[in-house]
Amino acid sequence: MRRALPSLLVLIAVLSLPALAASGAAAAQEAGHPVASVAAGHGDGHGGHLGEELSLLWVLPFAGILLSIAVLPLAAPHFWHGHYPKVSFAWAAVLAVPFLLMFGHEAWHAIVHIYLIDYIPFIILLWGLFTVAGGIVVRGSLRGTPGMNTLLLLIGTLMASWVGTTGAAMVMIRPVLRANAERKNKVHVIVFFIFLVANIGGSLTPLGDPPLFLGFLHGVPFFWTTSAMFLPMLLAAGTLLVVFYVIDLVFYRREGGLPEHEGETVRFQIAGWHNFFFLGGIVGAVLMSGIWESGAFTVLGTELRYADVLRDLLIVLMGALSLRTTRVALRRENEFGWGPIAEVAYLFAGIFMTIVPALEILKAGEHGALAGLIRTVEHPWQYFWITGGLSSFLDNAPTYLTFFNLQLGRFFPGMPEAEAVHALIADYHTYLLAVAAGAVFMGANTYIGNAPNFMVKSIAEEAGIAMPSFFGYILKWSLPVLVPVFVLVTLVFFLG
């Protein structure tokens, strides 16, 4: 198993080669033209210019890769499971070739930016959390009764705001799977796990979800998030837990309960507990990268912050130490394998390439192809739904940042950002809350809405659970379950 670490790191390096090659060409054409990091909240070197030139036709490859993820596993499962990396690469090439030919160095910089600043740190963070959490074994005779399942989801939901949605999901998914090993119907358990642990649970602190962390970097007080988001999260999570309990109880009774437990009862215990120190190290590294105002350096035409590079190195170190210090038997007991992280790495390599035009258009704001839509956003409920709707399919961090900045510009034009943020909280509290809640809550609407969603799906499928397809997840679960909850949140907090 330890031999798999170099292989996975090679995989990450290979996936980044197109971006590195692109940045080399860009640097040759325009030496010294840096692209700043939006991921760290420091703006984008393009200033929205590229996004102003793009039509919505450039989003078609992104739609194509999403359709492939949705349709091919059902229509051609054998082909998909054997060739999904090639499908991802093909859609990436369909976008990259004409994009580069038509827009030259601007396209090069946009691609380099998303791979070096967004994709590679994204995969490193997922890999680190996946690796460390894979060494934590929760033992005990946990049985998937409706009460126990609801308790496990509640624990994961409460954890998510303090160790991040990805961290909580990776720690809790395997205990949930083991508890429900004897259940006949368990798809709904994983779906609600994605709703609660992988998304809505991360609402209470900037550590919980990337858009909230961006807000923190731009001056939103750490505990404003806790106080402002508490009641919306309580309503959304509480409603979903009640709905889950009812659904799970119906399935449980149809199944005739669980068979009598055979063998010795295993008391509750945590093995590999030292991995919680490594998990804390990852959380600390992420927090450090946002707080430390470090310098920066340019690599192949792209500006990288020392704090971000140090963060990624620390995360790799935490994962490597976890692999080194955790007994192989514990990972075997967890049924740990590299398949889920490899699938995420391959598919998101294509998604991150094809999403570039959509993000550039979004960053162009009222000067881009979505100008008409953005100009209609005036009321809190509109901010909630437009931010959430876009966050369901695009990266919720830049979506949050776009509408956050839109509010600052509309309400306090010309005011320094620090003063404007405090004024926004004082005078237009509900507007900022709507953007924050939309970005975090509605990441649960699709498998790609938030980082851990697809990972949880892959781990569940590796455990033998037939998860819904991309559209099946939306039609069977998101629309009938989540949308009514979000309508309720709208009526209570964002109307009137």
pLDDT of residue 47: 43
Dmax over CA atoms of the chain, in Å, equals: 71
Could you say which residues of the chain have pLDDT below 50? 1-48
Annotate 123-150 with DSSP letters as a single string: HHHHHHHHHHHTT-EEES-----HHHHH
pLDDT of residue 2: 38
Displacement of CA 375 from its chain's centroid (Å): 27
Is residue 369 within 8 Å of 408, Cβ to Cβ? no
Is residue 4 within 8 Å of 338, Cβ to Cβ? yes
Closest CA to 107 of 373, 298, 301: 301
Start-to-end Cα distance in the chain: 57
pLDDT of residue 297: 92
Distance CA(106)–CA(54), nearest Å, equals 12
Range list of H helices, 258-327 = 275-291, 306-325
Tell me the whole-structure pTM to 2 decimals. Answer: 0.79
pLDDT of residue 17: 37
pLDDT of residue 26: 34
